[in-house]
Amino acid sequence: MRARVPASTANLGPGFDVLALALDLYVEVEVVPADRLHVRSEGEGEDLADDASHLAARVAIDVAGHDRLSITVRSDIPIARGLGSSAALAVAAAAAAGSKDPLGVAARVDGHPENAAASTVGGLVAATSVRGSVRVVRMPLDVSLAYVAMIPDRPLSTAKARQALPQQVNRADATFNLGRMTLLLAGLADHTLLIREATEDRLHQDYRSPLFPEAPQLLGRLVAAGALASCWSGAGPTLLGICDGGQAEAVRVAAETAMEEIGVPGRAVVLRPDLEGLITDADGPWQGRRPEGGAGGPFDLLG
């Protein structure tokens, strides 16, 4: 079976470990029976070990209960860049191996559910664990918004980025983030309500800045170029400018200029929301298919 899954950007500033948005970069995994384990990777991640240590292999073997599998991974999601590559790969591998709950499998692998939830459901989601199960709510999303991703050439592991965070936060900072998250959700539902302050955060971004010292200046340059707001994408180092769709290309050009001037090798790309999430062969022909559909509503509750 084949499965295709989109990338995701998590946190979006104040929504730490809760909010995520599916974006139109993809990983495709195909799993078929074989005499022995065979793993092949194309695109992003093609330099990873093609053996049982590969994440797709570990997930597929766990789901299938054996290793007599041929696994092919094709990906355009940059690895260790804060675009949910591991969660997306885990969802796709679990689905291609026949799991009835690829979201649950991927959430366990990733350690937190929001990236896997966005990749599975599509669109903008809020996700958390309730009594041991992942609960997902698909939130309203203004599809006129576009997202300029500054993707540095340098990687940043999620584990290292999490080590930079404090074990405790004070009540004022927690309240600050809750307030900013309400502004963010309103702005993502209606771009006319989105303000720069909606992506401010006191739980993770500043603590991670020493790992990417150029980040604050680059975030400021995104807004100066016309982005409505800017934030880290997940644990970084990718940075995100949330833009009116008509301004996105101009912001992208300015973002590449800023990266060059500040001395951060990499690229800037315009990304759009993916509104379908996980699709498999069972959903009908999809090679080359691009996501379509509406923004969804706030009451698509999954478990």
Domain CATH for 265? 3.30.70.890
| C-beta neighbour count of 256 within 10 angstroms | 16
Handedness of CA 172, 174, 208, 275 (dihedral sign): negative
Distances (CA, A) of 193 to 2, 27, 148, 226, 229: 40, 33, 19, 15, 11
Are 187 and 150 in a shared domain? yes
Residue 290: predicted pLDDT: 43
How does strand 145-152 pair with strand 300-302? unpaired
Q: 242 has which bridge partners?
A: 147, 229
When the pLDDT of each residue in the chain is averaged and rounded to a whole number, the result is 91
Are 154 and 255 in a shared domain? yes
Pick from 225, 217, 230: nearest CA to 249: 225
Which domain covers residue 43, as residue numbers? 2-140+274-281
Residue 284: predicted pLDDT: 64
Are 152 and 202 in a shared domain? yes
Residue 288: predicted pLDDT: 44
Are 50 and 162 in a shared domain? no
Residue 121: predicted pLDDT: 96
Residue 83: CATH number of its domain = 3.30.230.10
Residue 286: predicted pLDDT: 54
Instruction: Return phi, psi of residue 100, to 5°.
Output: -85, -10
Query: For the chain, which ranges sit under pLDDT 50?
Result: 288-303
